[in-house]
Amino acid sequence: MKLFIRVIFLGWLVLVFSRLTFSQISSGGTPWSFSQKIDNPIFVAPSQQELKFIDTISKDCSAMEFGRFLPVNISLKSELWQTTKLPNGDYVYRLGVFSEGAKGVGAYFRDFHLPVGSTLFIYSPDHQQQIGAFNHLNNSAGSFFATSYLTNDSIIIEYFEPKEVSGQGTFVLADILHAYRGVGETIEEKGFGGSGNCEVNVNCSEGYGKGNQRDAVLRLLIRNGSSGVWCTGSLINNTSEDRTPYVLTADHCGKNSSEEDMLQWVFYFHYQSSGCDNPTIEPQLKSMSGCVEMASSSNAEILGSDFFLVKLIDEIPAEYNPYFIGWSREGSVSNSGYSIHHPQGDIKKISHYTTPLQSTEYDNGIVNGFWQVTWSATENGHGVTEGGSSGSPIFDSEGYLIGTLTGGQASCSALTAPDYYGKLSVHWVSNGLLANQQLMPWLDPLETGALKMNGIYLGVNEAELLRDDMFQIFPNPTSQGVNIIFKEMNETLQIQVIQVNGQVADEFRGSPGEPAYLDLSSYASGIYFIQVSSAKASQMKRLIKI
């Protein structure tokens, strides 16, 4: 058995490192200035003229504006940079940006090109937050680059250039994102985006057995001109199962974005609490930037069914290991199911329905192009949708995506008001005759005519490795510990925690039908495998420690 495990691990590691070679998002490391006794650079302050037009907080499930893009337009050649020539001929450039009143600040670049050997970091003045290093692997054909935000009103940008490539690096800090709400703030213990107190975290009991669907849902930071808005999207599988990074969201989220704007969209993976309770520290941000539009309902004469399909411009890092969701275009009424979403840009939530969906029209859209849903109370709350939930998937009881959120009136103060989801069956071919008005050419490139499609993980898919479902683990990913629930059997079980190199990190006994808790607080972040064995069978599941 151990030999078999190591063969699987070797194949998986090859997959990981082959993907990382081409899709590294951040290479880590420490900025040069962190080891120096050096003052902070000069801070520039962009004009806040755009902030005079801030809208009110969204009360429905539309796209939620949470920030504005403020122009800066500072090139690397500007005298505003603090430039240091090191004794060996290398150069370090540093620039500070301060935006008064910001709850978060992100950096957006154009004409972006980093030579091999150079690095770019962004960090807070107190060095408590840092992203990077970014390097030549972050160069893109469009020459745009966007970073995640830091939860601060100030950032420092630090660029290191070796003497061998001196003068070859070019970029312009075009804009900064000034986030004025829904970023890095715990509001009345509701979560980091301040969603309503009726919402249910995805890793509560309501989310058990729905880990695949959870791992497909992404938070989207969308640039629409000078506005930054939160929406929700999901990675979606296609019939070739080639893991093309298609993300499906709502048309009203993306239709006002230019091609340049879309190259600066930011996609957040696994932005969720590790357990049922709201975390005291914001979850680690795992992100990518940049996409291109593939198809949407924007060209329909009316609203259409409100879908927007994009493709990420870079490969997804293997360590993110998201799920590409399965879908159904049968169009039959679902009697029960759920939605997973990011209300108010908050950590991931789950909402359930237990009454049949209704086929209807919405806001001058296609007749019978939408599912009307009424949400139900569950063990830990009464999940609904809010601003920022737009574009989120609705699932049937089997976990197939059957629609994307368009709008509605549901909220924590209107728990039984209806919401409306554009039908995937209508997205398929009903918005127009062109490929850029349909999902079919992209999700069925093999022209199979499939009515349903299962999902698949980016890396090792549990279904490809495992036998009968002997146990469940949750939450996964986790930052602290994991619960293990065993299937009812009349045997003592052996449980092993196996490292990615095949070594057994821990081993203990379990009782059938009785839950166990495994404390992982002392474990390093990374990927592990939980193996449960009886006298007759053995099963392994992958676990991510964050």
Active site residues: 252, 306, 390
Token digits for 530?
């939980």
Q: For the purposes of burial, counting CB atoms within 10 Å of the CB of 65, is it exposed (0-12), middle (13-18) or buried (19 or more)?
A: buried
Residues 536 and 512: their CA atoms lie apart, in Å, by 14
State the chain's maximal CA–CA distance in angstroms: 74
| C-beta separation of 150 from 129 below 8 A | yes
Closest CA relative to residue 60, chosen from 477, 410, 522: 410
Residue 91, CA atoms < 13 Å, CB-side half-sphere: 16
Place of tokens 């209508």: 426
Residues 431 and 370: their CA atoms lie apart, in Å, by 13
Q: How many of the other CB atoms lie within 10 Å of CB of 378?
A: 17
Task: With residue 394 as reference, give the H or E element that holds it.
Answer: strand 393-396
Residues 412 and 537: their CA atoms lie apart, in Å, by 46
Q: How many of the other CB atoms lie within 10 Å of CB of 454?
A: 17
Q: For the purposes of burial, counting CB atoms within 10 Å of the CB of 449, is it exposed (0-12), middle (13-18) or buried (19 or more)?
A: exposed
Beta-ladder partners of 217: 234
Residues 477 and 480: their CA atoms lie apart, in Å, by 10
Token digits for 357?
């969906």
Give residues with Cβ within 8 angstroms of 455, minimum separation 6: 212, 213, 216, 237, 323, 324, 325, 326, 399
> In sequence order, what DSSP letters do the residues of 466-487 get, joined into one string?
--S--EEEESSSBSSEEEEEE-
| C-beta separation of 371 from 357 below 8 A | yes
Q: How many of the other CB atoms lie within 10 Å of CB of 321?
A: 21
| C-beta separation of 253 from 236 below 8 A | no
Token digits for 332?
């039959």
